Structure 1
Amino acid sequence: MTTPVPHEPSPHSGASLVPAPGRLSAGPSGGGRCSIDGATTIEAAPGTEGVARWLRTTVGAATGYPLPPSHGEDAPRIVLRISPEPGGEPDGPEAYRLSAAGRRVVVGGASAAGVFWGAQTLRQLLGPDAFRRAPVTVRDAWEFPAVTIHDRPRFRWRGLLLDVARHFMPKDGVLRYLDLMAAHKLNVLHLHLTDDQGWRLPVERYPRLTGAGSWRPRTKFGHRASPLWEEKPHGGHYTRDDIREIVAYAAERHITVVPEIDVPGHSQAAIAAYPELGNTDVVDTASLTVWDDWGISPNVLAPTDATLRFYEHVLEEVLELFPSRYVHVGGDECPKDQWRRSPTAQARIAELGLADEDGLQAWFVGHFGRWLSERGRRLVGWDEILQGGPPEGATVSSWRGRAGGVAAARAGHDVVMCPEQEVYLDHRQAPGDDEPVPIGWVRTLEDVYRFEPVPPELEPEHARHVLGAQANLWSEVTEDQNRVDYQAFPRLAAFAEVAWSALPAPAERDFADFEQRMSAHYRRLDALGVAYRPPTGPLPWQRRPGVRGRPLDGPPPVR
C-alpha cells in the first residue's frame, strides 16, 4: 500500500478564489490585512459607475455599509478605474488588476468589464457572507488578507446555455442565473428560446407563436422512455419588456445574451401555431399541437419562400430586442423524411440544383446566414450546419464531440466548443442509482475540470478560431429551479475555471487544489441559495426515485 503524498496548496488556495486568477501575491512584506467598514467610500472613475452601483447593491447590502461616493483623498475607499494596461502589460479588454492593503482597494481594468470582474474577485475575498442580501451579523469591519492580483480570461466566449423551451424558466429565474454567471466570470448567456415543446419569445407580428405555441397539453417526467406524465398544461413566455429587462440586466453584468431561434428542425411549436409553416403536402399540420414528448420531432419547416419570409419577420424582431452580434439559428437534428416525401421540397431541390435533402438544409440555413450578415450580425449554428457547407462567416457550436469544431476551425470558421460528452450539464454526475433522473454520460466535477476546449489535434493557426467554450444545460429533466441548480452546480464552477483560467494540460491540472478552494466556494453557493449537488452525493429530497432516466450512452468519452 502506497503512502499518499500530501497535497501542496497552490498560491490560490489561501484566497479560495474560483475561478483561479492568473497571478496572486501577498500584500506588503508577504502579509498584512485589508478592510472595509462603515467609513469606506467608492471612488469611481468615468466609465466605472455601473460597477460602483453593482458594489453598492451587493457588497453594500451584505455588509450594511452605504459605500457612498468618495470626496477625500484620505478616506478609506475602493478605487475603480479604467487603464488600458492594468497589469503593466497588454492583457486584453477583460483584464484587471486588484491591489488591496490597509483600508484601500484599487481595481483597475482594461475596460469596464475588466473592472467588473475585479469587483467580483473583491466580493469573493470578503468571504461567503458577502454573497448574502443583508448583514447576518453587525461587524465593525470586514477584513481579508492584503493581496495583489493580476488576472485576465483565457477565452472571450465563456458561455452557458439555458434551455427555456422544454421547461420554461420565468424571468426572475433567468435574472438569477445571470447573477450566478457573473459571480463565476461567465460572459455569454445562450438562451434557447424555441423548440418542439414550446415557443417563449414574443413576436408582435405573429401573436399565435406565444398565444398557442408557448403551451403544451402535458409533460413527461423523466426520459422519453418514462411512462410518467404530468397531466396538466405546461408553458409560459416572456413579454417584450421581460426580454429588454433580461438584456439590460445582462449588459450591466457584462454578459451578452445570444438568442436561439431554431430552423428548420425543432420547430413543431411554431408549426402548431401556424400550420402553413409545415410540410402540408404530406402532413395534416392543422392537427398538430405543441409536442409533449422528448427526442426529435419529425415535423420540420417547409422549404418555401413563405416560410423564409415568416422567419425573416421573426428575426427582425429578434434583432430589435437583442443587440448581440451573434444570433443562433440551431440547424441541428432536422429529420429529412417529410422533405423526401414532399413534392414541394423535391421541386425546390431540383430548382436549386441541389444534390439531396442535406443540401436543402444547407440552403435553408445559408439563407439566414446571408440575411443576418447584411444586417451586421453573425449566424451561429450547431455543427450539423457543416453538412453541405456552412454560410460564410458562420460560427459553429461543436456539440457532437470535437470533430465538428476541428473541421470548422480548419475551414476558417470560428468555433465554440460545447461537446455533449464533456459539458452537457443535464447529464448525470455520478454512476449511482440515486442520481435524479440519470441520463447521458457520467460527468463528474473532476471530469468537467479536466475538459480542454482547444482540441489538441488543431494546429496553432487554426486553434485561434476557438472563441471559447460553453456548458449546455438542456431542460427535459430539469423542471424547476432546484433541479436546474442541482445539474449546474458545482460543475459550472469547474467549467468557469476552465474557461477563464490559464490551466495546464488536463492531466496536469491540480484538482485537489480546486477541491480545496471549493470547500469555501460551497459556502458562497449556500449564501446565494443554490441547491447544488453536495460532494457526498444527492440529499434525500434531491433524489427522484421511480422517475426513469436512460442507460449510459456507450463508452465514456475520450478526454
Structure 2
Amino acid sequence: MRSGRRRSTVAALGVVAAVAAALLPTAPAGAREGGAAAPQVLPALREWQAGSGEFRFGAGSRIVLDDADARTTADARRLAGELREVTGRTPQVVTDRPSRPGDILLSQDAGRKADLKDEGYRLESGARLTVTGATSTGVYHGTRTVLQLLRADGTVPGGSATDVPEYRERGVGVCACYIHISLDWFERLMRDMASQKLNQLWIEAKVRSDVDPESAFWGYYTKDEVRQLVRTAERYHIELVPEINSPGHMDTYLEGHPELQLKDKDGTPSPPRLDITRPEAFAYYTSLVDEALDVWDTRSWHMGADEYMIGTAYPDFPQIQAYATEKFGAGATPDDAFVDFVNQVDDHVRADGRTLRVWNDGLLGRNHLVALDQDIAVEHWLGGGGVQKPSSLIAEGREVMNSSYSLYLVRGGYTMQTAKLYDSGWSPLSFEDETLATRPAHLTGAKITMWPDSAAAETENEVEAKAFMPLRFIAQATWGGPRPAPAYEEFEKLARSIGHAPGWADTDRAPLGSGTYQLVGAGRGGKMLAPAGQAAGDTVGFVAGRRAAWEAAVTADGYYTLRSAETGLCLDVERGKRYLGAPIEVGAELTQETCAADKRTQRWQLSADGGALTVVNAISQLQVTARAEDGVAVQTAPDGTRPTRVRALPAPLTNSAHLTTSGSSRP
C-alpha cells in the first residue's frame, strides 16, 4: 500500500518522466518491412514480412500438433473452444497427422531456443497457419495472436513474423491487501493478461493462517482459493509473485500481536510496524512466509519492505539505532538495521531455492555498513528523497523492474494517464526521477499496479473497466517494437475493436432484471428479507409472516442497489470494523440507509446458485446471511457460514409467479 502523503509528492513525476522518455519506434499504422501492411494485433508484431496469398479458416480446418508436450496439447484443446467463440467454428485437434491447407499447425521445436527464446514464436501464414515456439509458452503466445488475426473474417494475409518480447517481465500488480477481491475477477484479469502476452502477476494477499489464527480476519484467501489462483495462472502461462509486506504495513497481522509492534520513545505502539530489533519478530514473519509459500509454490517472494519509515521517523524509535550500533558498530545507522532485516529474509527464502523482491523506497543512496544482497531484485516505484536511482541499482548488478508511480491505478486516487504516456512514447526506460539512455541487461521490464487506498470508492468491476487500456498499454510497451498507431486515439480504437479475450464475458453479472421483488429465503418455510423499522440505521433481517418489497436496479458497473419499497431506504453495510473504507467485519449487521447513487457499499452482487440467488456486498465481498438466533441479516465469510440463498418473487407476492434466475428473469 502506498501512503497518500507520498503520492501527493510524486504524482507529477510520472508525467515528467514520461515526457522525457525516448520515443519508441513508430511505424505507419499497419506498416512493416518494405511498407507491406501487417495484421493489426496487440501487442503489435515485432516484425512482419509480407508474402503471397492468404490463410483461410474454414469448416474443415483443424488444429494439428507437432511434437507438442502435455501443456501445449491442453492449450490446443482450449484454443478450439476459443476459436468457436471467435469464428463460430470448432476445429478438431489432431496429433501425429500431416497438416493440410486450412489447418492451424502448432509446432514445438526446442532447437529454436536461440532465436525464439522462452516466450517468442514464429508465425507463418499461407495455405496453412503455422505457429512455432521453442517452448509451450512460446506456442501459447502465438495462439493469442492467432485468435486476434481470425477475429474479423477468419482470414490472415500471407506472410511471416518472428515475434519475441523485448522484456522478460511484463506485469500487473494487484494489492488484495486489507480487502478481498473475487476469484472471478482474478480469472478475468489473467485471461485478459494472457491475450496481451503479459506474463507476471504480483498479488499482495493474506492467506488464512493456521500458524497464526489470530490474524485471520476478513480480507484473507483460504489455502484452497490460493491453489485455485495458482492453477489459473498456470493455465494462462502467468508467473505469480506473492507478497506479505514487512516490516511495514503489517497492521492486519500485528493487530493481535502488540508484543511484536514497534514502540516509539514514549512507549506508544505502531501497529503497522514490526519491531525488527527482536528475533521473535523475524521468526514470526518467516513463519507466515513459509506457510504462504507452501500453497503459492512460486519461484520468487516479494516482501514489500516499503514505507517502513516515512520522512525522518527513525529518531522516534531510538531502539533501532541502539540495535544497529550494537550489531554493526559505532558508524551504523538505523538504515543498516533495516537492510539487515531484508537480507535475513533473503537468506531465508534463498535457502528454499527462491529469489526475493522488494520495493525501492527504503534503499537510500548514502553509504551503509550493510549492503543489500546483490541477488535481491528491486521494483522501483518512487524517486527523490535520497533513494537510489535505477541506474545506481543496476550498476550494482542487481535486477530492476520499472514499477513507477506513473503506472498506478489507485481506488479513489491517482490513475495513470495512459493517453499521455502513450503519446509521449513512454518506455520501461522512464522512471520517476531518471530516464535511462539505453536499455541495460538488468532492466527486467515494467508493470502497472492497482492499489485499494480508498477501497469503498470504486468496485472491483469499476477497477476492471478502467484497467482495460492500461493493460494494453503496458503490454505494448514491454513486448516492444513499433507502436501500432501514431497517436493514442487510434491505439485505443484498435484496442476496443479487438476487445477482451475470448471467454472473458462468461461471468453472468446480472441474473435478475431491474424491478420490484420480495426476497424470500430459499427452501421450505422461507422467511422474507425486511427492514426492522422505518428509520435510517435500522437493521434488516429475515422474518416470518412479513411481506416487504425491494426495488432492484442494475448499476452501470454490473451490481444491484436494493431499495426498500416501504421506507425508501437502501440496503447497506455501515456497522463494524473498516479498513480503507471497506466494511470487512464478519458478523456486521446490515442496515437500511439513505440511498446515495455514488455509495459503493450499497451495491450488491447477485449470483445464480441452483435456482436461487446469493447476495454479496460489492465492496466487502462478504455474503448476506440470516443470523441464527434472531434472523438479523449479517455479512459472513464464505468459508465459515453458508449464505442465506433467496428467491426473488415479483411484488406483490403470488402463488404462481416465481421468478427464477434464468429465462424470463434476465434483463
- Using structure 1 for the length normalisation, give the TM-score: 0.74
Q: Structure 1 441/120 Cα, relative in aligned 2: closer, same or farther at 3 Å?
A: closer
**Matched residue, 1:272:** 255
Instruction: Output the amino acid matched with 1:301.
Output: L
Q: Structure 1 477/344 Cα, relative in aligned 2: closer, same or farther at 3 Å?
A: closer
RMSD (Å) for aligned C-alpha atoms: 3.3
Matches of 1:377 and 1:519 in 2, distance apart? 42
Q: Structure 1 467/530 Cα, relative in aligned 2: closer, same or farther at 3 Å?
A: farther
Q: Does 1:452 align with 2:431?
A: no
Matches of 1:159 and 1:271 in 2, distance apart? 30
Matches of 1:57 and 1:165 in 2, distance apart? 35
**Matched residue, 2:380:** 398
**Matched residue, 2:442:** 465
**Matched residue, 2:104:** 78
Once the two structures are TM-superposed, the CA of residue 445 in structure 1 deviates from its matched residue by 2.2
Is 2:105–2:130's contact at 8 Å kept on the other side of the alignment?
yes
Is 1:167–1:476's contact at 8 Å kept on the other side of the alignment?
no
**Matched residue, 2:469:** 490
Q: Does 1:59 align with 2:71?
A: no
Q: Structure 1 74/83 Cα, relative in aligned 2: closer, same or farther at 3 Å?
A: closer
Instruction: Output the amino acid matched with 1:162.
Output: V
Once the two structures are TM-superposed, the CA of residue 165 in structure 1 deviates from its matched residue by 1.0
Please give the secondary structure, in 2, of the residue aligned with 1:23: coil
Matches of 2:463 and 2:506 in 1, distance apart? 10
**Matched residue, 2:522:** none
Alignment of 1:243-258 (within 5 A): 243-258=226-241
Is 2:59–2:89's contact at 8 Å kept on the other side of the alignment?
no
String of CA shifts for 1:322-378, please: whole Å, max 9, x gaps.
333221111111137886455754542332136332222112212101212222211
Q: Structure 1 85/498 Cα, relative in aligned 2: closer, same or farther at 3 Å?
A: farther
Once the two structures are TM-superposed, the CA of residue 192 in structure 1 deviates from its matched residue by 1.8
Q: Structure 1 298/475 Cα, relative in aligned 2: closer, same or farther at 3 Å?
A: same
Q: Does 1:330 align with 2:323?
A: no
Pairing partner for 2:31 from 11, 33, 56: 11
Matches of 1:299 and 1:8 in 2, distance apart? 51
Is 2:63–2:80's contact at 8 Å kept on the other side of the alignment?
no
**Matched residue, 2:348:** 371
Pairing partner for 2:172 from 142, 153, 160: 160
**Matched residue, 1:174:** 186
Matches of 1:353 and 1:413 in 2, distance apart? 24
Is 1:97–1:118's contact at 8 Å kept on the other side of the alignment?
yes
Q: Does 1:426 align with 2:410?
A: yes
Q: More strand per residue: 1 or 2?
A: 2
Once the two structures are TM-superposed, the CA of residue 148 in structure 1 deviates from its matched residue by 1.9
Q: Does 1:96 align with 2:108?
A: no
Once the two structures are TM-superposed, the CA of residue 454 in structure 1 deviates from its matched residue by 2.5
Q: Structure 1 515/24 Cα, relative in aligned 2: closer, same or farther at 3 Å?
A: farther
Q: Does 1:440 align with 2:440?
A: no
Alignment of 1:292-331 (within 5 A): 299-303=272-276, 304-331=278-305
Structure 2 runs not aligned, ≥5 long: 1-26, 508-554, 558-595, 600-667
Instruction: Output the amino acid matched with 1:9.
Output: A
Q: Does 1:351 align with 2:326?
A: yes
Matches of 1:167 and 1:202 in 2, distance apart? 13
Please give the secondary structure, in 2, of the residue aligned with 1:386: coil
Is 1:94–1:111's contact at 8 Å kept on the other side of the alignment?
yes
String of CA shifts for 1:410-461, please: whole Å, max 9, x gaps.
11111001111x312339xxxxxxxxx4x3376232414622213586576x
**Matched residue, 2:626:** none
Q: Structure 1 385/280 Cα, relative in aligned 2: closer, same or farther at 3 Å?
A: closer
Once the two structures are TM-superposed, the CA of residue 270 in structure 1 deviates from its matched residue by 0.9
Structure index of larger Rg: 2
String of CA shifts for 1:458-477, please: whole Å, max 9, x gaps.
576x8111011111121224
Pairing partner for 2:160 from 148, 153, 157: 148
Moved more, 160-169 or 515-524: 515-524
Q: Structure 1 36/408 Cα, relative in aligned 2: closer, same or farther at 3 Å?
A: farther
**Matched residue, 1:131:** none
Q: Structure 1 52/514 Cα, relative in aligned 2: closer, same or farther at 3 Å?
A: farther
**Matched residue, 2:143:** 119
Instruction: Output the amino acid matched with 2:126.
Output: A
Q: Does 1:204 align with 2:210?
A: yes
Pairing partner for 1:480 from 439, 444, 459: 459
Q: Structure 1 353/74 Cα, relative in aligned 2: closer, same or farther at 3 Å?
A: closer
Moved more, 403-412 or 338-347: 338-347
Is 1:158–1:496's contact at 8 Å kept on the other side of the alignment?
yes
**Matched residue, 2:74:** 50
Instruction: Output the amino acid matched with 1:483.
Output: E
Once the two structures are TM-superposed, the CA of residue 518 in structure 1 deviates from its matched residue by 3.9
Matches of 2:470 and 2:247 in 1, distance apart? 32
Please give the secondary structure, in 2, of the residue aligned with 1:17: coil
Please give the secondary structure, in 2, of the residue aligned with 1:15: coil
Once the two structures are TM-superposed, the CA of residue 166 in structure 1 deviates from its matched residue by 4.3
Q: Does 1:381 align with 2:348?
A: no
String of CA shifts for 1:374-417, please: whole Å, max 9, x gaps.
22211111113423532231111010149632221011111001
Matches of 2:109 and 2:505 in 1, distance apart? 35
- Using structure 2 for the length normalisation, give the TM-score: 0.63
Please give the secondary structure, in 1, of the residue aligned with 2:125: strand
Q: More helix per residue: 1 or 2?
A: 1
**Matched residue, 1:3:** none
**Matched residue, 1:554:** none
Instruction: Output the amino acid matched with 2:302.
Output: H
Once the two structures are TM-superposed, the CA of residue 172 in structure 1 deviates from its matched residue by 1.8
Is 1:93–1:113's contact at 8 Å kept on the other side of the alignment?
yes
Is 2:408–2:416's contact at 8 Å kept on the other side of the alignment?
no
Instruction: Output the amino acid matched with 1:406.
Output: S
String of CA shifts for 1:60-103, please: whole Å, max 9, x gaps.
4543415332464255422111124559x62322110112223x
Pairing partner for 2:399 from 400, 414, 436: 414
Matches of 2:255 and 2:313 in 1, distance apart? 16
Matches of 1:457 and 1:346 in 2, distance apart? 35
Q: Does 1:34 align with 2:59?
A: no
String of CA shifts for 1:465-518, please: whole Å, max 9, x gaps.
101111112122464232212331212211110100234xxxxx6742664354
Matches of 2:492 and 2:506 in 1, distance apart? 14
Please give the secondary structure, in 1, of the residue aligned with 2:272: coil
Structure 1 runs not aligned, ≥5 long: 1-6, 129-140, 194-199, 216-235, 286-296, 428-436, 504-508, 532-539, 548-559
Alignment of 1:514-529 (within 5 A): 515-516=489-490, 518-525=492-499, 528-529=504-505
